[in-house]
C-alpha cells in the first residue's frame, strides 16, 4: 500500500517541480537532420567562439487565431467589418504574449547570467552575446557551412534546446537553424538579354487585330504595353500624401536614379521627372553607383515609378545576412528586421502597397521562422497594406528530389504565406499565356485558407494535372500563386543600358503598380485602401472580371527528377497563373 502510493505521488511531484522551475531539463526545440541542400559543413574551419551574435527570442503570442479571423473578416467584401483596418496598438493588444510567458523566459536568461532587452512591443527579447555563450545557453553547436553556389560561409547550428517548461513560451530563436536556399533571398530574375535579339518584331508599331495593342508587346514589354494590356493608360492618379507604393530591396541591390531617369525618358516621357525615395533599414544603403549590376532593384523601381507616377514610391533597402564568419555585425535575418521596421511605422508613413521580388525554397526555411514572418505579413494586412511577393522562377520546382530520395515539387516562401499575395508570370498579349518559369504549387507548411477552398478545391478535383502529380504535392496546402502579370522580356535600364529582363521579379511590381492605382482611386474617393487582397481577389474581383483568366501555356521544372513536369494554365485558378491578370478599368470600380 505505502509503496504503491509513494510511486503514484512521486512522479507527480517531480513533474510539478520541473514545470515551475526555470532550470527544468533541456529538451530539443528545433532540429534539422542535416544542412539543407546546397549547404555543406566546412569541417576544417573552426568557429571563433568570441564572434558577437544577437539572438532574438520571439515569445509565443496570444490569440493568434482570433487575430487571423479578424484579418480575414476585415478583408472579406460584404463582411460587416470590411475595411476596418487596425492600428498597431490594437494588433499588439490582441497578440501580446502573456505576462507569465515573458517572466518565464526572462528568468531563464537571468539565471544563466544573460542581461536582456525586451523589444518595445514586448514580443521578442534580444540577447547580445557571443557564439560561445549562445552555444551553452542553447546547448547548440555552431558550425561553419558553405553555400555551394555562392561560396559564402555562414555560421549555423543544426539543432538547439531550451528548458522543457519553456517550449510553449518560445516561438523561435534565430539565428540558429535558418540557412536559406542555394538562391537564398536572391532576386528571382531568370534571364537578362540584349534587346538586339528582338529584330524586326520589336519595331512593329502595328496594332494587334483583337486587342488593339502594339504588336511589339508580343516580344518585349514596355510600360505602355502594361498600361494598354491592364487598362490603366487613361487613368491619371492624383498625388495623395498617404498613398505610398513600397518596393523592397535586399542583398545589396540598390535602385539607381540615373537608370530610372534614362528609362523614363525613353519609355515614359510624361513621367520623365519622377523619382523615388530610398529608406535604409538595419544599416542598409542607398548607394548610387550606376555601373554596377543592380538589375533587380532597377527593374522593380522602374516599373513601379513608371506606372504609378505621381504616387510616391519608397525603396526600402534592408541590409542583413546570416551571421558571417568574418565578423559581420549585421546578424539578423532581413525579413524579420524589415517587418519589425515596417510594423513600427506610423499609419501616415505606412505604404498602402508593397512589392517584394525575393524568396526561398520553403523547405529551407525553418517552420518556426516561416510562421513568425507570415504572422507579421498578416499584421501588415491588418494595418491596411497589400503585400505582394513574386512566386518564383522554377515552375513546379528546380531540384525536386528530397534528401531522402523522394520526388516532390518545391514551393516558394513567402509566396506560400496565406497572408501574402503571390504573383506568377505570363507572356504575350494576344493571347496572354502562362510563362514556363512561373512558379506555383502547394505549401507543405501552411494549410489551404478558406478563401481558396472553392477555386483550388475545384482545380484539384477536376484537372488532369492535379491527379497526375498527386504524389508530388500536398493537396491540403495553401496553393499559389494567387494572380499573375507579365514576366518576360521587360525593357530595363541597368548600368546605363537598355536590357531585357525576365522573371516573376517583373510580375510582382507590375501587379503592385495596378493595385497602387486602385488604392489611389479608392482613397481619393474617401474609401478605405484594399489592405490584404486575397479574399477580395478570390470573390468579387474574379466574379466581376476584374481578373482576366489565363487559360493557355504551361510551366516547366523538375527536369532532373520528374521529366516533363509542369502545370497547365486552365479555366479558373491554376498553379501557374493563379486567378489571372488584372483589368484596372474594372478593379477600380469594385
Ligand X SMILES: *[C@@H]1O[C@H](CO)[C@@H](O)[C@H](O)[C@H]1NC(C)=O
Q: Which residues are catalytic?
A: 296, 300, 505
- Length of the chain (residues): 590
Instruction: Say how far apart CA 570 and CA 572 lie, in whole Å.
Output: 6
Query: Is 572 a known ligand-binding residue?
Result: yes
Query: Is 549 a known ligand-binding residue?
Result: yes
Q: How far is the CB of 330 from ligand X (least distance, A)?
A: 32
Nearer to ligand X, 249 or 441 (CB): 441
Please tell me whether residue 307 adopts helix, strand or coil conformation: helix
Asked if 344 and 383 count as a contact pair (C-beta separation under 8 A), the reply is no
Asked if 355 and 533 count as a contact pair (C-beta separation under 8 A), the reply is no
The cell numbers describing 513, all together, are 503598380
Nearer to ligand X, 34 or 270 (CB): 270
User: What is the CA 259 to chain-centroid distance, rounded?
Assistant: 26
Residues in contact with ligand X by CB under 6 A are: 209-210, 270, 272-273, 444, 446-447, 474, 476-477
C-alpha to C-alpha distances, 580 to 463, 536, 588, nearest whole angstrom: 17, 14, 16
Instruction: Say how far apart CA 260 and CA 273 lie, in whole Å.
Output: 10
Query: Is 381 a known ligand-binding residue?
Result: no
Q: How far is the CB of 431 from ligand X (least distance, A)?
A: 11
Query: Is 574 a known ligand-binding residue?
Result: yes
Which H/E stretch holds residue 375? helix 367-382
Instruction: Say how far apart CA 480 and CA 449 lie, in whole Å.
Output: 11
Nearer to ligand X, 150 or 270 (CB): 270
Backbone angles phi, psi at 293, to 5 degrees: -85, 85
DSSP assignment string, 72-139: HHHHSTTSTTTT----HHHHHHHHPPPHHHHHHHHHHHHHTT---EE-TTSSEEEEEEEHHHHHHHHT
Nearer to ligand X, 411 or 557 (CB): 411
Nearer to ligand X, 474 or 499 (CB): 474
Instruction: Say how far apart CA 311 and CA 509 lie, in whole Å.
Output: 14
The cell numbers describing 477, all together, are 496546402
Nearer to ligand X, 49 or 201 (CB): 201
Give binding residues for Ca(2+) as ranges: 549-550, 572, 574
Amino acid at each position: 500500500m505505502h509503496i504503491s502510493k509513494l510511486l503514484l505521488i512521486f512522479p507527480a511531484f517531480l513533474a510539478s517541480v520541473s514545470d515551475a522551475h526555470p532550470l527544468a531539463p533541456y529538451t530539443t526545440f528545433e532540429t534539422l537532420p542535416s544542412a539543407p541542400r546546397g549547404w555543406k559543413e566546412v569541417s576544417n574551419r573552426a568557429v571563433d567562439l568570441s564572434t558577437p551574435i544577437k539572438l532574438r527570442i520571439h515569445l509565443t503570442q496570444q490569440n493568434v487565431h482570433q487575430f487571423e479571423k479578424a484579418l480575414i473578416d476585415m478583408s472579406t467584401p460584404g463582411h460587416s467589418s470590411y475595411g476596418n483596418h487596425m492600428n498597431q496598438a490594437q494588433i499588439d493588444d490582441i497578440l501580446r504574449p502573456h505576462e507569465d510567458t515573458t517572466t518565464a523566459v526572462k528568468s531563464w536568461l537571468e539565471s544563466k547570467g544573460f542581461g536582456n532587452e525586451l523589444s518595445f512591443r514586448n514580443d521578442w527579447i534580444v540577447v547580445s552575446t557571443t557564439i560561445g555563450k549562445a552555444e551553452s545557453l542553447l546547448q547548440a553547436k555552431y558550425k561553419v557551412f558553405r553555400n555551394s553556389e555562392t561560396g559564402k560561409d555562414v555560421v549555423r547550428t543544426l539543432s538547439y534546446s531550451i528548458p522543457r517548461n519553456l517550449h510553449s513560451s518560445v516561438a523561435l530563436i534565430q539565428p540558429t537553424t535558418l540557412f536559406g536556399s542555394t538562391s537564398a533571398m536572391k532576386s528571382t530574375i531568370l534571364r537578362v538579354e540584349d534587346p538586339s535579339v528582338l529584330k524586326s518584331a520589336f519595331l512593329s508599331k502595328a496594332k494587334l487585330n483583337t486587342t488593339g495593342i502594339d504588336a511589339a508587346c508580343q516580344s518585349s514589354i514596355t510600360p505602355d504595353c502594361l498600361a494598354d494590356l491592364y487598362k490603366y493608360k487613361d487613368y491619371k492618379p492624383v498625388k495623395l500624401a498617404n498613398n505610398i507604393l513600397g518596393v523592397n530591396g535586399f542583398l545589396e541591390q540598390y535602385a539607381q536614379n540615373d537608370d530610372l531617369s534614362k528609362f523614363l525618358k525613353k519609355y515614359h516621357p510624361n513621367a520623365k521627372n519622377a523619382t523615388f525615395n530610398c529608406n535604409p533599414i538595419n544599416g542598409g544603403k542607398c548607394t548610387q553607383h550606376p555601373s554596377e549590376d543592380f538589375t533587380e532593384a532597377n527593374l522593380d523601381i522602374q516599373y513601379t515609378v513608371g506606372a504609378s507616377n505621381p504616387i510616391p514610391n519608397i525603396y526600402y533597402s534592408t541590409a542583413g545576412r546570416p551571421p558571417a564568419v568574418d565578423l559581420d555585425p549585421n546578424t539578423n535575418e532581413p525579413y524579420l528586421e524589415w517587418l519589425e521596421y515596417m510594423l513600427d511605422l506610423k499609419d501616415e508613413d505606412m505604404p498602402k502597397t508593397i512589392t517584394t521580388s525575393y524568396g526561398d525554397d520553403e523547405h529551407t526555411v525553418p517552420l518556426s521562422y516561416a510562421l513568425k514572418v507570415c504572422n507579421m505579413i498578416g499584421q501588415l494586412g491588418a494595418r491596411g497594406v497589400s503585400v505582394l511577393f513574386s512566386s518564383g522562377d522554377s515552375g513546379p520546382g528546380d531540384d525536386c528530389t528530397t534528401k531522402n530520395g523522394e520526388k516532390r515539387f518545391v514551393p516558394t516562401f513567402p509566396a506560400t504565406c496565406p497572408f501574402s499575395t503571390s504573383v506568377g508570370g505570363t507572356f504575350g498579349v494576344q493571347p496572354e499565356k502562362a510563362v514556363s518559369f512561373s512558379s506555383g504549387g502547394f505549401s507543405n507548411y501552411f494549410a489551404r485558407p478558406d478563401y481558396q477552398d472553392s477555386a483550388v478545391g475545384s482545380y484539384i478535383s477536376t484537372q488532369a494535372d492535379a491527379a497526375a502529380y498527386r504524389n508530388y504535392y500536398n493537396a491540403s496546402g495553401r496553393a499559389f500563386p494567387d494572380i499573375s502579370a507579365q514576366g518576360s522580356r521587360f525593357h530595363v535600364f541597368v548600368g546605363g543600358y537598355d536590357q531585357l529582363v525576365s522573371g516573376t521579379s517583373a510580375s510582382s511590381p507590375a501587379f503592385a503598380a495596378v493595385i497602387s492605382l486602385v488604392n489611389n482611386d479608392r482613397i481619393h474617393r474617401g474609401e478605405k485602401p484594399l489592405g490584404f487582397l486575397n479574399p477580395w481577389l478570390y470573390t468579387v474581383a474574379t466574379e466581376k472580371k476584374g481578373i482576366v483568366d489565363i487559360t493557355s501555356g504551361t510551366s516547366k521544372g523538375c527536369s532532373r527528377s520528374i521529366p516533363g513536369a509542369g502545370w497547365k494554365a486552365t479555366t479558373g485558378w491554376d498553379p501557374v497563373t493563379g486567378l489571372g491578370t488584372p483589368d484596372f478599368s474594372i478593379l477600380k470600380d469594385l
